[in-house]
Structure 1
């Protein structure tokens, strides 16, 4: 099981806070550092305020050297697909080919209102997401010297030079996730390198994985070419006192976290990690909510990582 760190900077974090976590994760051997793409906090006062996901990742691309970087996930409502393809390709170049793009339809209506971003209905948001995936991957895959055209309802593209190009052959890997039974699996099967089942039980993750694998077969894709992953909030403690201390630091109850996250002693955490592995996941995103507790990552590296590699 590959372990990645996943952060929520909209809850209150500076670039330096994120850099400290990313560098610690890199030094400890985590495979990736990912961040949400949000502009409004979800509890608390949100101070010192949000940071833009791709601006942050551009900085981290230059301030780290080996760890993979990306979003889980960017919202299709936030950016136009052409400029987003250019920005992500640029960050991939800056990182030497270490970037991944998680892209979703968007869901947080209050966030859109707070920053003047249009928030259409759910069907239109998914239509826009599908078209963005087509444009972004189409731009990246167009051979150098040729042009790309897309006859779309929302994002028509005409004779684009399809530049800049990512460093990674074929373009930056795309991550699609969600709990929807129809459109999400179909989009993942068609466009994604990875499907993510976020904040769900191993049993529900297995059901979602089966759905996206069927969607792959429906279009003639080998399901084995799609990475399956899960995301869980992390609250690891060497003993019960440490579990309670870390749960309190993020405003949660230990028993609730044990049910809805990856929480408890190393033995408890490992049991759930193995349950996700049995469900089909080969990658796990650990949502770290207290960014000041770098020892939390060290405990994972010491107590969990050697037993899941």
Structure 2
């Protein structure tokens, strides 16, 4: 099982905080550094304020060397698809091919209101997400050459004779570009979108039983689309709070404002032995990759404990 580090910078983090976590994660051998794409804290004051996901990843692309970088997930409501395709391709070039694009419909209405971003109804958001997936991957896959332009005529986005530049360094994604991550709990449309566009499907913050059920829906959708179910990577995201002993578990839980018993029930928490056992239940559910949601970004010793006592055993 691959372990990745997942952060929530909108809760209060500077770029330097994120760089310290990413650099430490790279040094320790974690598979990737991912961040959320949010502009408003979910509780607390959020000081010093939000950082932009793709600006952050562009900086990290130049200050790291091997760790993969991405979003879980970028909101389709935040950016027009053409400029987003350019942003992601550029960061992929800046990182020499280490970027992954997690893209979702968006859900947090308060941050849209706080920063003047339109927030359509659920159905329209998913319609826009589907068009963005088609358009972004189409721009990346479009052949390069004089007179070769990309056209798209959707209900929400229209493109005419686009050169589809720049191209990502990576060309091995399902549709010929940067790997795409889609996730969620939706029973029909979400699996169908994943089957059409995604290299990876992620289920966030769910029990192993619920994860297995959702993976079953996704596998069925992938096979119905003419793909092998094994062509998809199956992942989960879980909050992490591990300590060398019970006192350390309690201290780390308190630092993020959570109860240790609740974290044990809903995340990867407790001693390293407990964390390994917990991850084994997700492996049995079909999880190949776990995004460990690290909420105290100043606690780099937490990463070191995970790398030394958990990662080698899963």
The TM-score with structure 1 as length reference comes to 0.99
Match of 2:30 in 1: 30
C-alpha distance in 1 between matches for 2:199 and 2:159: 24
**Residue 135 of structure 2 is aligned to residue 135 of structure 1:** yes
Find the counterpart in structure 2 of residue 182 from structure 1: 188
- 5+ residue gaps in structure 1? none
Deviations 1:167-222 (A, max 9, x none): 00121100000000000000001000000000001110000101000001111111
3-state SS of 2:262 partner: helix
SS in 2 for 1:233: strand
For 1:289, the equivalent position in structure 2 comes to: 295
Alignment of 1:255 with 2:257, yes or no, is no
CA RMSD of aligned residues (A): 0.5
Paired position in structure 2 for 1:148: 150
CA distance in 2, matches of 1:240, 1:148: 58
Deviation at 1:148, TM superposition (A): 1.1
Structure 1 CA distance, aligned partners of 2:65 and 2:89? Answer: 17
Distance in 2 (CA, whole Å) between partners of 1:149 and 1:208 is 34
Query: Which residue number in structure 1 is paired with residue 275 of structure 2?
Result: 269
- Equivalent pairs counted in the alignment come to 308
Give runs of ≥4 in structure 1 deviating > 6 Å: none
Q: Which residue of 1 aligns with 2:99?
A: 99
Aligned to 1:164: 166
Q: Any idea what the Cα deviations from partners look like across 1:278-298, whole Å, max 9, x if unmatched?
A: 111110000000000000000
- How far is the alpha carbon of 1:108 from its aligned partner? 0.2
- Aligned residue among 230, 237, 241 for 1:231: 237
Please give the alpha-carbon distance, in whole angstroms, between the structure 2 residues aligned to 1:72 and 1:206: 20
Deviation at 1:230, TM superposition (A): 0.3
User: Unaligned stretches of 5+ in structure 2?
Assistant: none
Matches within 5 A, 1:205-216: 205-216=211-222
Write the distance in 1 (CA, Å) between the matches of 2:237 and 2:89.
25
Which secondary structure does the structure 1 equivalent of 2:240 belong to?
strand
Counterpart-to-counterpart distance in 1, 2:284 and 2:266:
18
> Counterpart of 1:197?
203
Given the two structures, how large is their TM-score scaled by the length of structure 2?
Answer: 0.97
SS of corresponding position for 1:101: strand
Structure 1 SS opposite 2:276: helix
Structure 1 position 43 matched with structure 2 position 43: yes
Partner of 1:300: 306
Aligned to 1:12: 12
Q: Distance in 1 between matches of 2:243 and 2:305?
A: 8
